[in-house]
Amino acid sequence: MQTLLELSKNIQSEWRKSAVESRLSFLPQLAITLLKNKQEYAECITKEMHKPITQAIAEVEKCALLCTYYYENAAQFLATKHIKTDASESFVTYEPLGVILGVMPWNFPFWQVFRFAVPSLIAGNTVLVKHASNVPKSAKLIQTIFEAAGFPKGCYQDLPISSSEVAKIIANPIIKAVSLTGSEQAGIAVATEAGKHLKKCVLELGGNNAFIVLEDANLEKTVATAVNARMQNAGQSCIAAKRFLIHENVVDAFVSQLKTAIQELKTGNPLDNSTQIGSLARIDLAEELEIQVKKSIEMGAKLVCGGKRTEAFYEPTILTNVSAEMPVFKEETFGPVVAITTFKTLEEAIELSNTSEFGLGVSVFTQDIETIKKHISSFNEGAVFINEMVKSDPRLPFGGIKKSGYGRELSEDGIREFVNVKTVVINS
């Protein structure tokens, strides 16, 4: 393991000296490689964690989009910033920190890695990635993709270690910072270890996003978005809509339309292009979801449809009469379960939304956009989406607050997370 660390360190000492334009020159080929082989890469994703093949292809395509975005914009983000002061000259430079450790999850095995690795590498760092244990083929494949695109060997390295070894790697003086996408528990462990050694970390943790539907919302469009927001990747996403807060005057119509829509989703072989929803990645995940649903029903939630598990497959499920004390409201549900709570006023909806310990994002559906814009600051979230599901975009910073973590990925903010913001003052 020390050999991999030393290689990263040695390569980084040279990599950082190269001009930004030189580092950027590898990104077009990286994007081409991804798009040319997207079917192969998507099949690897699907076989390992059961994501429907069309969604896996879209994930690979999004990685290529990320490469193109940074190719076109990273030089500007990292350019020296001149600032007028009392000195003869003063400016700020953005310099790489060194070797960065990434601890990555299984639910988006390509996207989560690329959104961390690409800006980190272009900033002049090298990266070591400890991927999730249930996607080992994807983990190895990603390294070959970076090397096939021309990145010097050692810039990107797969780190085949267990979770129990992560703390030791963080403690190694070669590692200068850590980025983790994962659970709250994993975030606490990584942050604790990084803090011991005064190393920066970026944490993208869980979410319990609210999906708020006001009385004047266009229900047809809102329901269509709700299906995608909750059921994509079988609900296995930190930014998926999980708590559905519906105005009491439209809840019956919303539930009726949503039930029809999710019951029309096609299940089956995830490698079949027509499959829209598959099983969860592991049986234990489905079992945990089953417990959350059953306990909530015992506490008074009403089962509208679904609620059955067959091994790792959990039926798309709708629960109504959900209160804030139930597991499907309080806890993150990592699967295709819609938990519906009603409200009377916008103020009540905001209060319910903010009740969560998480703060990744919120969606609000209404035709009165101007009113919602006045309330944006009232939402304790990393992102507010109006008439749209919460989703990441390379052009926009992504991250949360509260127990959803801290720091930002993507956009200009993301590429500057793992740099030394250096102030230079000159008097002649």
DSSP codes of every residue in 409-422 = BSHHHHHTTTEEEE
Q: Six-digit token pair at 10?
A: 């040695």
Domains, the chain, ordered by start: 2-205+404-426 (3.40.605.10), 209-386 (3.40.309.10)
Q: Which of 59, 193, 238, 332 is catalytic?
A: 238
Predicted confidence at residue 334, as pLDDT, reads: 97
- Say whether 392 sits in a helix, a strand or coil: coil
Question: Which residue matches tokens 């007028």?
Answer: 84
pLDDT of residue 1: 80
184 belongs to the catalytic site:
no
Sheet holding 81-82, edge to edge: 81-82, 89-96, 419-426
Structure tokens at 95: 């310099």
What is the full per-residue pLDDT of the chain (428 aa) written as tens digits? 889 999 999 999 999 999 999 999 999 999 999 999 999 999 999 999 999 999 999 999 999 999 999 999 999 999 999 999 999 999 999 999 999 999 999 999 999 999 999 999 999 999 999 999 999 999 999 999 999 999 999 999 999 999 999 999 999 999 999 999 999 999 999 999 999 999 999 999 999 999 999 999 999 999 999 999 999 999 999 999 999 999 999 999 999 999 999 999 999 999 999 999 999 999 999 999 999 999 999 999 999 999 999 999 999 999 999 999 999 999 999 999 999 999 999 999 999 999 999 999 999 999 999 999 999 999 999 999 999 999 999 999 999 999 999 999 999 999 999 999 999 999 99
List Cα–Cα distances, 275 to 239, 278, 408, in angstroms: 22, 7, 33
Predicted pLDDT at 241: 98
Residue from 204, 331, 409, 417 carrying the catalytic annotation: 204
C-alpha 195/C-alpha 170 separation (Å) is 10
- pLDDT at position 103, please? 98
User: Both tokens of residue 59?
Assistant: 């994930």
C-beta of residue 65 within 8 angstroms of C-beta of residue 283 = no
Total-model pTM: 0.97
Name the burial class of residue 142, with classes exposed (0-12), middle (13-18) and buried (19+) by CB atoms within 10 angstroms of its CB.
buried
**43, 56 Cβ separation under 8 angstroms:** yes
Question: Quick check: 201 and 177 in contact, CB under 8 A?
Answer: yes
Q: Is 67 a catalytic residue?
A: no
pLDDT at position 266 is 97
In the prediction, which pLDDT does 2 show?
Answer: 87
CA dist 207 and 229 (Å) reads 13
